[in-house]
Amino acid sequence: MEHLIILITKPDNVPILAIIFLLPYFMWLSFSQGRNNDLAGTPAEASLKDKVYVWPYLCRNEFICAIIILLILAVWSITIDAPLEEPSDPTKTPNPSKAPWYFLALQEMLVYFDPWIAGVVLPGLIIVGLIAIPYVDINPKGKGYYTLKERPFAIATFCFGFIILWITLMVVGTFLRGPGWNFFAPWKYWDPHKVVPLTNVNLSYKFGIRDVLTANVFGFVVVAGYFALGPIFYLWKVRTSEFLQELGLVRYIVVSFLFLTMLSLPIKMILRWVWNIKYIWVSPWFNI
């Protein structure tokens, strides 16, 4: 318990604690408005058709908001000091070495993927994928008001990525990862000598494949087959689905690739926890 208090009261963990409270509040704020709009049929925002003068009405709100935020910042700055540890020493590696809190979801991904995927490819795809959202989301509904019913796939996907994969992994990286990046319950002492058996094996090994070349081909087939699920679904449904026809092949490929890539993280997490799978595909150049 003492350990948990130390973790929580670490100055640099305050933002994470703030997020733990702020995010559910804003989720409630937005989802309840979305539900009300869905139940009412017309969004509440549409009933307020008239315009108001920016000065004084908007400027007043901005001013009050700025004062409140600056007040919070002032209290935060007076009560909690920014951390300053001992001078930097390249010969003394702390265990665990953690990135700043907003990168801990990426650091957490390193458990499940090699650095070139977790540290470079996936962050790159997150950025590209976010920028691509407006161009692949052809649903004209739900523009400028809260709703859940009118765009269930978009909201579910974004919330899964943001709340589960980004924020939750950040919280896990902060509170549950100790020395050696081993998993510790929040109230457990961070024992640097914790013994963790290395029982991870590759997927091909689980299937009884011992030959390197066969394992390589097997891994390729599994990974290619996984990403082929998207096009296969398209070919299966395109004739009957008006939505897919309207979406078009290019948009569909982008969406399915990004979606399957995002899902690959929870899939690999489950494979690791349940079956101790390390890699799906081991090749001479890279491992996935």
Q: According to the binding rule CB under 8 A, does residue 155 interact with another protein? A: yes
17 touches another protein (CB under 8 A) = no
* Smallest distance from another protein to CB 274, Å: 27
Instruction: Name the token pair of 248.
Output: 């078009």
Residue number with CB closer to another protein (80 or 212)? 80
The kind and range of the H/E element at 175 are helix 169-175
**What three-state secondary structure class fits 164?**
helix
CB of 47 vs another protein, minimal distance in Å: 9
Q: Per CB under 8 A, does 196 bind another protein?
A: no
Q: Looking at 1, 21, 39, 100, which residue binds another protein (CB under 8 A)?
A: 100
Q: In whole angstroms, give the CA distance from residue 20 to residue 181.
A: 22
Residues 36 and 44: beta-carbon distance below 8 Å: yes
Q: Which of 4, 5, 29, 221 binds another protein (CB under 8 A)?
A: 29
Interaction between residue 224 and another protein (CB under 8 A): no
Nearer to another protein, 48 or 274 (CB): 48
CB atoms within 10 A of CB 255: 19
The smaller minimum CB distance to another protein, of residues 243 and 275, is found at 243
Binding status of residue 135 toward another protein by CB under 8 A: yes
Contact residue for another protein among 1, 39, 41, 49 (CB under 8 A): 49
CB of 13 to another protein, least distance (A): 10
Q: How far is the CB of 131 from another protein (least distance, A)?
A: 4
106 binds another protein (CB under 8 A): yes
> Among candidates 114, 108, 110, 105, which has minimal Cα distance to 279?
114
* CB of 240 vs another protein, minimal distance in Å: 27
The one segment of 17-25, 196-204, 212-220, 246-254 that binds another protein by CB under 8 A: 17-25
Which tokens hold the place of 51?
């315009």
Ramachandran sector of residue 280 (left: φ over 0; alpha: ψ -120 to 50; beta: rest): alpha
**Tokens standing for 56?**
């004084």
Q: Is 41 in the site for another protein (CB under 8 A)?
A: no
**The one segment of 61-69, 229-237, 240-248, 251-259 that binds another protein by CB under 8 A:** 61-69
- Tokens 């908007």 found at: 58
Q: How many CA atoms lie within 13 A of 265 on its CB side?
A: 24
Is residue 45 at the binding interface for another protein, with CB under 8 A as the rule?
Answer: yes
Q: How many chain residues bind another protein (CB under 8 A)?
A: 91
Q: Which residues pair with 277 in a beta bridge?
A: 201
Q: Which of 26, 189, 227, 243 binds another protein (CB under 8 A)?
A: 26
Question: Whose Cβ is closer to another protein: residue 53's or residue 199's?
Answer: 53
Residues 239-258 that bind another protein (CB under 8 A): none
C-alpha 271, offset from chain centre: 18
Query: Residue 163: what residue type?
Result: I
What is the distance, to the nearest Å, from the Cα of residue 77 to the centroid of all Cα atoms in its chain? 29
Residue by residue, DSSP assigns 204-225 as: HHHTT---HHHHHHHHHHHHHH
